[in-house]
Amino acid sequence: MEKVFLDFTNEEKVSVVKEKARQALIEDFVEYLNEKYDKARKLASNEIGVVVGQAKDEDGFASDIVVVIKATTKAWYNKTDCKRPVKKFDLDYGTDGTDGADAYQAEVEAKKAPKK
């Protein structure tokens, strides 16, 4: 499969880049998910619903199990001139400089820990 790399260097507005990037990925997700599962479709500007299977409801009838995926574009820049400063996101290191996989594992471990 050919790799895709979208070029947004000619866009001047952050909001336009974020929306175009999100929509391009949502289209790819819907296409892929329709190949793998029975039904997937766009629900809102940044949400996809996917029927992943069926289960019986409380009355014993089969009902679709729908998973909703919400696409969000992370900041690729540092922004400090606002009420809530935004740190640049790095896929490998998150926003706090730690390794992304390690941060996820720490979150999983924290959720397993007994509550005080």
Confidence of residue 72 (pLDDT cuts 50, 70, 90): confident
pLDDT tens-digit series, residues 13-29:
888 998 999 999 999 99
Residue 50 has pLDDT above 90, yes or no: yes
Predicted confidence (pLDDT) at residue 51 exceeds the cutoff of 80:
yes
Q: Which of 20, 76, 35, 70 shows the shortest CA–CA distance to 49?
A: 70
Beta strands in the chain (DSSP E): 39-44, 47-56, 62-70
Model-level pTM greater than 0.85? no
Name the residue ranges covered by the structural domains of the chain. Answer: 1-71, 74-116
